[in-house]
């Protein structure tokens, strides 16, 4: 039988404890999750200063409390990378105790960036010719997307929609394209030159085209389409 002295017995018991159990008995303090969220939110508000319109931030989920060693602690916010503002952002928060980093957290927020923007006033189909009445001004959540501010819509004249749009959807310049000189099914003026003879008639374009493009046109009274060269807006020329 082996009998250990009390100091040796205590040492032996400490070595026999599961790893980390001794650390659990160390003095700790609890930092409320609400306080950590408030610190992250304050950093977002500071960064939002001077931004056009108004920014709103909402915490995503519930932040649990943090358990850190006892001592004087402070909360420091790290750098927020990526596009700004955006719909979702993680704010890095570090918990320092007596000048040493004790824990790092990331607090997530959803963002709303409210400002005046141009939106579609009505549903419209692809290929529809654009006009200023197609858009109206509205307060819009523009976080994470590009918008066109409240500006004159004169630039829209002479363009057409490349895709269908819905009322309330933000207007983007990329939604539009130039209207071709001749569009499919447009009625066109047809100049015909055969040798020294010049004739004028009308017809229907079978396809769209820009200046100098060869497109199929059905002249008035003809049974078959012929190739004609686009020379101007709704004007084509046939030469033989």
The tally of domains found in the chain comes to 3
CA 127 to CA 123: how far, in whole Å? Answer: 13
Inside any domain, residue 59: yes
The CATH number of whichever domain residue 167 belongs to comes to: 3.90.1210.10
Q: Which structural domain, as residue segments, surrounds residue 209?
A: 187-239
70-94 pLDDT, tens digit per residue, is 999 999 999 998 888 889 999 999 9
Inside any domain, residue 105: yes
Same domain, 40 and 107: yes
Inside any domain, residue 158: yes
pLDDT band for 25, please (50, 70, 90 cuts): low
What's the Cα-to-Cα distance from 83 to each of 88, 109, 149, 150, rounded to whole Å?
A: 10, 14, 19, 23
Same domain, 121 and 77: no
Quote the pTM value: 0.61
What's the Cα-to-Cα distance from 62 to each of 37, 59, 73, 109, rounded to whole Å?
A: 9, 8, 22, 11
111-136 pLDDT, tens digit per residue, is 999 998 889 999 999 988 888 888 88
The CATH number of whichever domain residue 208 belongs to comes to: 2.30.30.760
pLDDT score at 207 = 92
Residue 84, judged by CB atoms within 10 A of its CB (0-12, 13-18, 19+), counts as middle
What average pLDDT does this structure show over 49-75? Answer: 94
Inside any domain, residue 14: no
Inside any domain, residue 18: no
- How many CB atoms are closer than 10 A to CB 127? 15
Same domain, 39 and 109: yes
Same domain, 72 and 107: yes
Domain edge (last residue) among 113, 131, 166: 113
Same domain, 107 and 126: no
Same domain, 234 and 193: yes
Residue of higher predicted confidence among 11 and 157? 157
Same domain, 101 and 56: yes
CA 157, distance to chain mean position in Å, is 26
CA 130 to CA 60: how far, in whole Å? Answer: 40
pLDDT score at 150 = 63
pLDDT at 62 over 70: yes
CA 95 to CA 100: how far, in whole Å? Answer: 8
What average pLDDT does this structure show over 192-212? Answer: 89
SS3 221: coil
Inside any domain, residue 93: yes
Inside any domain, residue 2: no
Same domain, 37 and 106: yes
Which of the 8 DSSP states describes residue 64?
A: P
Which of the 8 DSSP states describes residue 179?
A: P
Inside any domain, residue 134: yes
pLDDT score at 15 = 43
pLDDT score at 23 = 45
């Amino acid at each position: 039988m082996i009998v250990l002295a009390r100091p040796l017995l205590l040492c032996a018991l400490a070595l026999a404890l599961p790893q980390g159990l001794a650390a659990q008995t160390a003095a700790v303090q609890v930092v409320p999750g609400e306080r950590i969220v408030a610190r992250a939110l304050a950093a977002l508000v500071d960064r939002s200063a001077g931004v056009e319109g108004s920014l709103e931030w909402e915490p995503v989920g519930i932040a649990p409390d943090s358990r850190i060693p006892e001592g004087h602690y402070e909360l420091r916010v790290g750098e927020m990378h990526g596009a700004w503002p955006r719909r979702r952002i993680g704010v890095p928060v570090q918990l320092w105790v007596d000048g040493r980093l004790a824990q790092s957290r990331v607090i997530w927020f959803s963002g709303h960036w409210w400002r005046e923007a141009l939106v579609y006033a009505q549903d419209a189909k692809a290929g529809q010719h654009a006009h200023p009445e197609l858009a109206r001004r509205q307060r819009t959540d523009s976080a994470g997307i590009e918008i066109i501010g409240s500006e004159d819509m004169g630039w829209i004249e002479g363009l057409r929609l490349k895709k269908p749009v819905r009322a309330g959807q933000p207007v983007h310049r990329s939604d539009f394209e130039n209207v071709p000189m001749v569009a499919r099914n447009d009625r066109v003026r047809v100049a015909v030159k055969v040798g020294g003879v010049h004739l004028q008639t009308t017809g229907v374009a079978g396809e769209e085209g820009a200046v100098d493009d060869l497109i199929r046109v059905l002249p008035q009274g003809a049974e078959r389409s012929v190739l004609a060269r686009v020379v101007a807006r709704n004007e084509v020329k046939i030469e033989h």
